[in-house]
C-alpha cells in the first residue's frame, strides 16, 4: 500500500481556505498583496486557527505548517484583488462545504463563518472608508441587490443571502447555529470594522486547542 501525504492530499481545500481568508478580510483591512497580510500577526493567528482547527471535518488539529508556507513564495507578487475574483465559484464553496460537514459532526464553525461574513461584506462593494471595491463575481449583481434592499435589517439581509442557491445549501440555510454565527460576524464586521472583529474572533476561539467548543457553544 502506498502512503499518502495528508498535507498534499488536503492542500487544495486548505489553500482555498487560506486564500479566502487572505483575500476578503485582507482587502477590507486595507492590504493589497498577500505578503502584506501574512506579515500581520493578527492575520497570522486567524489563518493558523482557521487552517489548523476548522478547515477539517474531524475533531482536533491538523498539521498545516507545509500549507501555510506554500503561498508565501507562490503568491507574494499576486494582488489580493486577483484572489477576490469569482469567490462564489472558487473559494467560498470549500468553506461552506467544510462548515456543513463540521456542523454534522458537532464541531465549531466560528472562523469559517467569519470568513464567509468577510466575503459578504466585501461583496457590498465599498470598504470602511467608503471607497469603492471592485467585485468581480457571477453573483455580484444579485448580492448587491440584496444588500441595497435589506441593508437596514441584518437578520433579513442574511436570510436573503442564504437563499442564494446553489451556493448555500438547504442544510446550511436551515441550520440555526450557522445562520446565527454568520449573522453575528457580519453584523460585527459592519459595526466595528474587520480588524476589530478579527481581534474578537481570536479572543473567542483561543481556547480551541485546549477544548474545542461543540456546536451549540458548550466547552
Ordered domains of the chain (ranges, CATH) = 6-205 (1.10.1040.10)
pLDDT value for 52: 87
pLDDT value for 13: 75
pLDDT value for 116: 98
User: CA-to-CA distance for 184 and 109, rounded, in angstroms?
Assistant: 12
| pLDDT band, very low/low/confident/very high, at 1 (cuts 50, 70, 90) | very low
**Composition of the chain by helix, strand, coil, percent to 5:** 65, 5, 35
pLDDT value for 59: 67
User: CA-to-CA distance for 219 and 204, rounded, in angstroms?
Assistant: 12
pLDDT at 212 over 50: no
pLDDT at 150 over 50: yes
Q: pLDDT digit string (tens) for 78-115? A: 799 999 999 999 899 999 999 999 999 999 999 999 99
Mean pLDDT, to the nearest integer, of 169-179? Answer: 97
pLDDT value for 90: 87
pLDDT value for 93: 95
What share of the chain has pLDDT > 70, as a percent? 79
| pLDDT band, very low/low/confident/very high, at 152 (cuts 50, 70, 90) | very high
Q: Which of 41-45, 126-130, 205-209 has the lowest mean pLDDT?
A: 205-209
pLDDT value for 64: 54
For 113-172, what is the HEC assignment?
Answer: HHHHHHHHHHHCCECCCCCECCCCCCCHHHHHHHHHHHCCCHHHHHHHHHCCCCCCCHHH
Contact 175, 104 (CB under 8 A): no
pLDDT at 213 over 60: no
The C-alpha angle 60, 92, 116, rounded to 5 degrees, equals: 75
Amino acid at each position: 500500500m502506498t502512503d499518502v501525504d495528508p498535507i498534499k492530499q488536503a492542500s487544495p481545500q486548505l489553500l482555498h481556505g487560506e486564500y479566502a481568508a487572505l483575500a476578503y478580510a485582507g482587502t477590507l483591512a486595507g492590504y493589497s498583496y498577500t505578503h502584506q497580510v501574512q506579515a500581520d500577526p493578527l492575520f497570522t493567528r486567524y489563518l493558523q486557527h482557521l487552517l489548523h482547527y476548522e478547515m477539517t471535518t474531524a475533531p482536533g488539529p491538523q498539521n498545516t505548517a507545509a500549507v501555510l508556507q506554500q503561498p508565501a513564495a507562490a503568491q507574494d507578487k499576486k494582488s489580493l484583488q486577483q484572489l477576490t475574483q469569482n469567490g462564489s465559484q472558487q473559494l467560498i464553496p470549500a468553506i461552506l462545504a467544510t462548515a456543513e460537514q463540521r456542523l454534522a459532526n458537532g464541531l465549531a464553525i466560528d472562523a469559517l463563518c467569519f470568513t464567509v461574513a468577510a466575503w459578504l461584506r466585501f461583496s457590498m462593494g465599498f470598504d470602511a472608508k467608503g471607497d469603492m471595491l471592485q467585485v468581480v463575481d457571477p453573483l455580484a449583481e444579485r448580492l448587491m441587490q440584496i444588500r441595497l434592499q435589506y441593508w437596514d435589517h441584518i437578520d433579513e439581509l442574511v436570510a436573503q443571502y442564504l437563499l442564494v442557491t446553489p451556493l448555500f445549501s438547504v442544510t446550511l440555510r436551515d441550520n440555526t447555529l450557522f445562520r446565527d454565527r454568520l449573522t453575528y460576524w457580519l453584523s460585527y464586521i459592519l459595526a466595528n470594522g474587520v480588524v476589530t472583529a478579527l481581534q474578537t474572533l481570536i479572543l473567542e476561539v483561543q481556547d480551541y486547542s485546549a477544548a474545542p467548543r461543540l456546536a451549540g457553544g458548550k466547552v
